[in-house]
Amino acid sequence: MADFEYVSQVDTEPLSSGPKPPLDLSHHFSRVTAARKASSMKEFYKYFLIPGIENLAGGLPNNHYFPYDTLEAQVAKPERWEPTPNDPNVLSDKLRSTSINAPDTSAALHLAVPHTSSSSNPITKIDLDTALQYGTAQGYPPLYSFLRQFTRENLNPNIPYEGGAEIILTVGSTDGFAKTLQCFSNAWNEERDWIREREGILCEEFAYMNAVQTARPLGLTVTPVKIDFEGIIPAALEEVLANWDESQGKRPHLLYTVTIGQNPTSGTLSAQRRKELYAILSKYDVLIVEDDPYWYLQYPSAAVSEAKARGTAIPPTISAHTFANSSGYEFLDSLVPSYLNFDTDGRVIRLDTFSKTVAPGCRVGWITAQPAIVERLLRITETSTQQPSGFVQSLLAELVMGPQAATAEFSKKTRAEQATFSGWKVDGWVRWLEGLRGNYERRMNRMCSILEDGRHYVKQGTPNKASESDWAVISKTTMYSFDWPRGGMFLWVKMHYETHPLWNVVSPQRLGNAMWIFFTLKPWVILVSPGLMFSPTEEIKEKEGYKYFRICFAAVDDDVVDTSSKRFAAAAQKFWQIKNKDELDEIEGTATARDASIEMLDLGMNMGC
């Protein structure tokens, strides 16, 4: 063992009175990324903004020929949904109140993006002339400026390196991750390249497979790391990195992780665990790709509700963090913070998205990282997707910022019309996020409560002794178990096939497959995602994947949360009554089962929800 203790590069630098700049991590850039130059055409765009300039240089279509005069929509007030308490000890009626089926559209407001705004400030100029024209790759200036300020001042106000982070807009988190891989990974081919050149990526033991499937075609090794209820186990991460077998290629230099409401397990990584993992990742110079679409969906009631339902001790309340800078909002301060707030090295690349807060069809998100990394991502974006859809960006900008006073069309409206919509602003956006959390938290509690009541198979028998004939023998068998999600949109249910009557008759993998098919048959007719789909390796799929199902409580209607949860429990009860192997043959042999098995991988279950 070495007679010294590892310290990060940042710790070896002389002490200063202020924050230190982030590390130079350019040695991680791929060959293509390192060679990229700024787009010569994009460099012209800054000259387009000179007042009064006659632009004969760019290949831009005439904005007066755009066939859209306005974009208009009815939008919700940010107070549409009722929040739930931030304090886990305050389990008020708010957890049970308000329907989540029927929004009050009478309270909707009218939003309009005009064709032309007379504003000369590009940060506040929201109109179709600019939104539908070619623009800078970093994003539509009004939306970009709002998100940059929101990210730096409200979401992550405690980034420890000098100057703070920068952002760039993406076409959703899938696009953001693909560009991040392109930025930091060299494609590898076993027929052409030496094994010593092969790069790799780490992920959770069960993972969001769209990300894994993005990495594999590049030839990267995909190495899962053991997880527990929170997420990645520090000792397991250290074990993988310290004992890396170089015959498999280079030690992985990227970690892909979903830290809040992990997909599929719903694990939520505490601040203390993040510090422990960050220290290890810094030690081995691993970059952290933090994909957090569910960050706002953290459920303070889950631990208390779980304890009460199971008659166990209520866990102590632990503060999410104690940073110097507040976000300015009690709701945001109550949430477990991003890795960015511990990122002394500048090795975190965070993916955010509007998919879970507005709608997946927006296809708009953003990356937050140290400026040098964002600059390279900008170069990639300039020659690939460019900025997201102008239609969507302008609607989002108008939603959160509101119409500008200088807009010609707006100034022609009556005072009553002008007062109908002024934009949500940061206050309204945060209030909207609070309301969304409230609704999803209520759904989570409803599903968990029903599944909690049905997780045991209870059987009543007759005593063997005649003298005890007045007594009934009750046996209680655990069919499945789960943790109440502390965040996200999913329950991760473990089936205990070892208690099934056919455990020693057929393989456990066959029981898992038959159980999944059984759910789809009448009268149950429910579709859940099998754990096999989230298994990064064949070994995990064979040994562990068959045991689990992921259940999403987010997408279905309010009443279906109840009925589908009851059907899940009832189907498990019925399946545990099967004692004859022939009954499994019948389940697997139905036409419905055959069709379901064939189509299983094409049901959209790879999506975030």
3-state class percentages of the chain: helix first, strand second, coil last, to nearest 5: 40, 10, 45
How many Cα atoms occupy the beta-carbon half-sphere of 62 within 13 Å? 2
What is the H or E stretch that residue 287 is in?
strand 287-291
Q: Which residue has the tokens 């969001």?
A: 208
Q: How far is CA 414 from CA 411, 424, 470, in A?
A: 8, 20, 82
Query: Could you tell me the two tokens for 406?
Result: 């200088």
List beta partners, residue 207: none
Three-class secondary structure of residue 368 per DSSP: strand
In sequence order, the 6+-apart residues with CB closer than 8 A to the CB of 470 are none
Q: 337, 278 in Cβ contact below 8 A?
A: no
Per residue in 111-141, pLDDT tens? Answer: 999 999 988 888 999 999 999 999 889 999 9
Secondary structure E strands in 196-316: 200-204, 221-225, 254-257, 287-291
Q: Cα(480)–Cα(482) distance, rounded to whole angstroms?
A: 7
287-291: strand order across its sheet? 166-170, 365-369, 348-353, 287-291, 254-257, 200-204, 221-225
Q: Cα(157)–Cα(160) distance, rounded to whole angstroms?
A: 9
Q: 259, 269 in Cβ contact below 8 A?
A: yes
Query: Could you tell me the two tokens for 169?
Result: 């807009």
**Closest listed residue to residue 327, CA positions, set 366, 296, 282:** 296
List beta partners, residue 492: 550
What is the H or E stretch that residue 586 is in?
helix 581-589
Per residue in 27-82, pLDDT tens? Answer: 999 999 999 988 776 667 667 767 778 878 778 899 999 999 999 999 999 999 99
Q: 216, 222 in Cβ contact below 8 A?
A: yes
At 470 the pLDDT is: 58
Ramachandran category for residue 297: left, alpha or beta (phi over 0 → left; psi -120 to 50 → alpha): beta
At 88 the pLDDT is: 80
Give alpha helix (H) positions in 151-300: 173-184, 209-215, 234-242, 271-283
Q: Cα(179)–Cα(173) distance, rounded to whole angstroms?
A: 10
What is the H or E stretch that residue 291 is in?
strand 287-291
List beta partners, residue 481: 494
Q: Cα(68)–Cα(536) distance, rounded to whole angstroms?
A: 46
What is the H or E stretch that residue 349 is in?
strand 348-353
Q: 96, 134 in Cβ contact below 8 A?
A: no
What is the H or E stretch that residue 474 is in?
strand 473-478
> What are the average pLDDT values for consecutive 10-residue runs of the chain, which has 609 residues?
43 65 97 88 70 80 93 93 87 55 65 90 92 93 96 96 97 96 96 96 95 94 97 98 96 98 96 97 98 96 95 85 89 96 98 95 97 97 94 95 62 58 89 97 97 90 61 81 97 98 96 95 94 95 97 92 96 96 90 51 48
Q: Which residue has the tokens 């989570």?
A: 444
Q: Which residue has the tokens 């005009």?
A: 114
Give, in degrees to the nearest 5, the angle at Cα 459 between 456 and 460: 145
In sequence order, the 6+-apart residues with CB closer than 8 A to the CB of 369 are 165, 166, 346, 348, 349, 350, 377
pTM for the predicted model, two decimal places: 0.90
